[in-house]
Structure 1
Amino acid sequence: MKDITIAIDGFSSTGKSTLAKQLAKQLGYVYVDTGAMYRAVTFFAMQKGFVSENHLDKELLINELNNVTLNFTFNKELGFAEVYLNGTNVENEIRNLEVSRCVSQVAEISEVRSKLVEQQQEMGKNKAIVMDGRDIGTVVFPNAELKIFMNSSATTRAERRFKELSDKGQQVTYEEVLQNVQERDYIDTHREDSPLVKATDAIEIDNSSLTKEEQFNLVLNLVKQKL
């Protein structure tokens, strides 16, 4: 069987990363979380004071992009690769609500997208990869053999995200999380550069009423058909 490229796009908090990790593990493929890459750049910008919820110094960030090095290192205990920013593991730091509030405006910057898309395409040049994000099937791998577009209601996604953050001990309210989900949806779908859209040949999955197991089995069957 030949190796294929699996592109998973969709709205925030639809479980793209969870599904992608499951598929990569099952298939023995490389998994790349592009959302983590944008979050890591955002975390870098926050540390430098270039971005906050109500502030963005676009030019300063662009000028510093050459000082941003991203790598993924597989963690055997966790079963997936964690993201490293300039040699430091930032997997936990990039997952908080503060980064979530800023990541969409950083991801809007064309220079940021160009830098990361180039890295993503290099990672996938040999196929046998599962990559999730916002523009994988439309920009990064337009010729991917299997494209999935994941969707779910904003309230369902906010409930999942709120539980995830609360379980990690973060002090957030459901209303804050819902507002963040809605704001990110708007920015992701309205930005000029690579907006979030469903590729014409992508298979859309609304997982509002699906369990993780049901979703995994559904997509695994699609993968087997392609293989």
Structure 2
Amino acid sequence: MKKTIQIAIDGPASAGKSTVAKIVANQLHYIYCDTGAMYRALTLAALEEGVAPDDEEGLLALLNKISITFQQQPDGQLVFLNERDVTSAIRQHDVTRHVSDVSAHKQVREEMVKRQQQIASDGGIVMDGRDIGTMVLPNAELKIFLVASVEERAMRRYKENQEKGIPTDYDRLKNEIELRDFQDSTRQASPLVQADDAILLDTTGLSIKEVVDRILNYAENARN
């Protein structure tokens, strides 16, 4: 019987992390944890409660009062904030614009990492984000760092939002992704960097199936 492993998938915004991580988890019958959705849920709560994105103490106090949970469905994963379905709400422009500021705080990230490590403690997990291989699951048996061109990432998110009925301007989205890349890679707390032992996988021009197949191949080797 093959061992269960931890799979960490990192990369910039809209590189395809969540999409492929969900499929890989489903194929392996593993748990999937969308860490980006956790930060988005906190950002949504902060916007609703009037807590400023630069108020670290306020954000930490708010985080300690809320629950963020996931529920698997046949057609995808639902995200709940205090038992309220916020799957669509956390993808709105206001949340996207402020999530990097919220996730940049050291104390906020430390608390989130504790929650994420608890979820992953039994193995058999696929987790995606920006610091999974470096901070959250530093001992993961398989680490993938996904990248893609800014133009392709913007078009992916644009199409995804169109399918969900979220009004989106492509140029604005492209600018937001470029800004998020800069913010994520230059923040002091857990910046977006490729782990030394991560496999770099450029998804530009690749289909979802091609990316998934490559990761499953790597996972097969890691499980032996």
Please say if 1:191 is aligned against 2:187: yes
Partner of 1:161: 157
User: How many Å separate the matches in 1 of 2:188 and 2:114?
Assistant: 18
Deviation at 1:86, TM superposition (A): 1.0
Please say if 1:109 is aligned against 2:105: yes
User: How many Å separate the matches in 1 of 2:188 and 2:43?
Assistant: 19
* Contact preservation (8 Å) 1:39, 1:103: yes
User: How many Å separate the matches in 1 of 2:197 and 2:149?
Assistant: 22
Superimposed CA distance per residue, residues 150-171 of structure 1 (whole angstroms, 9 cap, x where no aligned partner): 0011111011111111222222
Partner of 1:83: 79
* Contact preservation (8 Å) 1:150, 1:206: yes
* TM, length-normalised to structure 1: 0.94
* Contact preservation (8 Å) 1:43, 1:99: yes
Please say if 1:100 is aligned against 2:92: no
Partner of 1:10: 11
- The count of residues paired between Structure 1 and Structure 2 equals 222
Identify unmatched segments of 5+ residues in structure 1.
none
User: How many Å separate the matches in 2 of 1:64 and 1:98?
Assistant: 18
Deviation at 1:111, TM superposition (A): 1.5
What's the RMSD between the two structures over aligned residues? 1.2
Superimposed CA distance per residue, residues 83-114 of structure 1 (whole angstroms, 9 cap, x where no aligned partner): 21111111111012221111000000112111
Mapping of residues 122-201 of structure 1, within 5 Å: 122-201=118-197
Identify unmatched segments of 5+ residues in structure 2.
none
* Contact preservation (8 Å) 1:50, 1:58: no
* Contact preservation (8 Å) 1:8, 1:149: yes
Please say if 1:212 is aligned against 2:213: no
Name the SS for the 2:64 alignment partner.
Answer: helix
Name the SS for the 1:67 alignment partner.
Answer: coil
User: How many Å separate the matches in 2 of 1:72 and 1:21?
Assistant: 12
Partner of 1:59: 57
Letter aligned with residue 25 of structure 2: A
User: How many Å separate the matches in 2 of 1:219 and 1:65?
Assistant: 33
* Contact preservation (8 Å) 1:30, 1:129: yes
